Amino acid sequence: MADKPVFTIQDLHYTYPNGVEAIRGLNAEIPESRLTVITGDNGAGKTTLLLLLDGLIFPTKGAVVYRGTRLSEKLLETGEFAKGFRRQVGLVFQEPDVQLFNPTVAQDLSYSPNSLGLDQPDQRALRAARAMGVEDLMNRPPHALSWGQKKRAALATVLAGDYDVFLLDEPSAGLDSRGKRLLMSVVEALLREGKTIVVVAHDDPQLFSLGDHEIRLSPPGT
């Protein structure tokens, strides 16, 4: 199993525009083809770190380096690097309503493969739907789903993108026992395929058991 870092985090600081400091002086690495678990108390910056890794926000100070290239707002606006990065790194938000914005679940699941220019987008969407147990919901509007169904559908949207790196923010929160079993099966399959997974998990022994690398965060100033 490869052990080189996909992400290198260098003296990372992030303060939100309202003045709230989320991360202070973090140094860490995300190894390739392994599951990294991000843990820490509330307010420790776990979700913020995922947003920084996904290039949705950018450091106040320090750097996030992806496969040797320092991420920046300008670099991820346009160009070949931006295109490649977006094809390789996918994020599942903690709130599924952020992820689901099309009229039907089927359209949400085919969105990533279509926008990324992948072949057979509908087949990819269907495979992802089956993996997360939402194939019978494909013609439903996302707003009509239960919370657990939305969570599974949101996970399936990113699974359909066939990314190299999966960033998962509290993926098991709100899932029933069946949903958790499906999630574990998907995570295990992705690891067998050599994918890199970074997961924010709160008191989830099953996910912890699959992870072999941990980044523990503490709120700034503690």
Cα–Cα dist 213/34, whole Å? 8
pLDDT at 40: 86
Question: One digit per residue, pLDDT tens: the chain, 222 residues?
Answer: 446 799 999 999 999 999 999 999 999 999 999 999 998 888 889 999 999 999 999 999 999 999 999 999 999 998 899 999 999 999 999 999 999 999 999 999 999 999 888 899 999 999 999 999 999 999 999 999 999 999 999 999 999 999 999 999 999 888 889 988 999 999 999 999 999 999 998 766 777 777 788 899 988 866
pLDDT at 3: 63
pLDDT at 2: 46
pLDDT at 1: 41
pLDDT at 222: 66
With 0-12 CB in 10 A as exposed, 13-18 as middle and 19+ as buried, what is 221?
Answer: exposed
Phi-psi region of 33 (alpha: psi -120 to 50; beta: other; left: phi over 0): left
Residue whose token pair is 């260098």: 10
Cβ contact 201:39 at 8 Å? yes
Let me know how many helices (H) and strands (E) the chain has, helices first. 8, 9
Residues 6+ apart with CB under 8 A from 99: 92, 93, 108, 153, 154, 157, 158
Residue whose token pair is 């996909």: 6
Name the residue among 99, 98, 91 with its Cα closest to residue 199.
91
Enter the pTM of the model.
Answer: 0.92
> For 136, which DSSP code?
G
- 152's enclosing H/E stretch is helix 147-159
pLDDT at 218: 85
Cβ contact 118:159 at 8 Å? no
Cα atoms in the Cβ-side hemisphere of radius 13 Å centred on 31: 16
